[in-house]
Amino acid sequence: MKISASMTADFGDLWHNLADLTVSGLTQGSIYALIALGYTLVYGVLQLINFAHSEVFLVGTYSSIILWGWFGFSSGAGAVPALGTVIVMLLLGTLMASAVSGGTALLIERIAYRPLRRKNAPRLIFLITAIGASVAISELVGVLTERKPWGVPALVRPSVQWHIDPRDIGLDIQPVDITNLQIGIVLVTIVMWYALDTFLNKTKFGLGIRSVAQDEDTAALMGVNKDRVIMLTFLLGGLAAGVAAVLYNLKIGTITFNIGFLLGIKAFTAAVLGGIGNLRGALLGGLALGLVENWGAGMFGNSWMNVVAFVVLVIVLMFRPTGLLGESLGRARA
């Protein structure tokens, strides 16, 4: 079989563009990490893979655009709003997306999963239900939007905040310009992860979540309301997905009804890669996945980005079946 030039590894290109690929990878990986938080929270408590979480993210992307449209901001607007207006719009858009995503997550738990839990349905039925809910929501959004792409208002225009030139220290690597948007995405992700991690480990509600994750029967005997804990878990995951939705909108600029599918798989991959059921693992896995797929694109070409990402996942799990960190939510530090 003849191997085309696009299939051969080019370490020279990877090294030459390493700085730019790394910054892009960390930015994209931050979005994966935020979505992965929802997967890892639900799995940590219920041992359930909530494949409908990708559509929880999806509805958040549309809801923020709709809100911005109410205030007259559309994808066709050419003028850049004043800084104060931008901050207010981003806050309102984030609140809207988080509220809608969180509400959607609660509805999915209440309508799709709770009846199955009360009937002690097999895990396979939960999985099939999750896939069905995911497809149903995605197709509903497709019908409502007539399957047409939606543009995102240019509320944030990327501007260079930091110029790094590795050649200054003798490395043959292309300079990279780091923009305000890239910095913002990474910082917001870290802040959101830290807030969730602190909530789980430092609050009474977080203790309830960790106790149910570790032993739900014992937690019930200690007075923990399992249904409320599960609802809170879905809500927290939905809130994180809403924040990720706004960041994705700002980064990509265009959305479609089916964006949740591949993003959801990658976010779930990030959760597994870092250690499913572990918030630190979700952050680490998301960043690692973003780096790996961008480095792979730099070496083999953009068309091989997804192939490289999932091959690396398989290789890691062969040697670390529980992921890079491999710690369950129920065993998080007290």
pLDDT at 77: 61
More confident residue, 46 or 115: 115
**Cα–Cα distances in Å, from 205 out to 38, 101, 255, 299?**
17, 20, 35, 46
How confident is the prediction for the chain on average, in pLDDT? 88
**CA 53/CA 38 separation, integer angstroms:** 7
pLDDT at 3: 42
Task: Give 189-219 as a DSSP string.
Answer: HHHHHHHHHHHHHHSHHHHHHHHHHH-HHHH
Task: Quick: pLDDT tens for 25-39.
Answer: 999 999 999 999 999
| Spatial contact of 46 and 234, defined as CB atoms under 8 Å apart | no
Token pair 């931008």: residue: 86
Amino acid at 106: L
Task: Quick: pLDDT tens for 150-164.
Answer: 999 988 888 989 988
Closest to 97 in 3D by CA, of 56, 60, 69: 60
Task: Quick: pLDDT tens for 201-254.
Answer: 899 988 888 888 888 878 887 888 888 999 999 999 999 999 999 999 999 999
pLDDT at 319: 84
pLDDT at 233: 94
Task: Quick: pLDDT tens for 1-18.
Answer: 344 444 455 677 788 888
Domains and CATH numbers, the chain: 5-157+179-331 (1.10.3470)
Token pair 């780091």: residue: 178
Confidence tier at 172 by pLDDT (50, 70, 90): confident
Two structure tokens written together for 219: 């937690």
Residues 6+ apart with CB under 8 A from 296: 304, 305, 307, 308, 309, 312
More confident residue, 250 or 306: 250
User: 163 — phi, psi (to 5°)?
Assistant: -110, 120
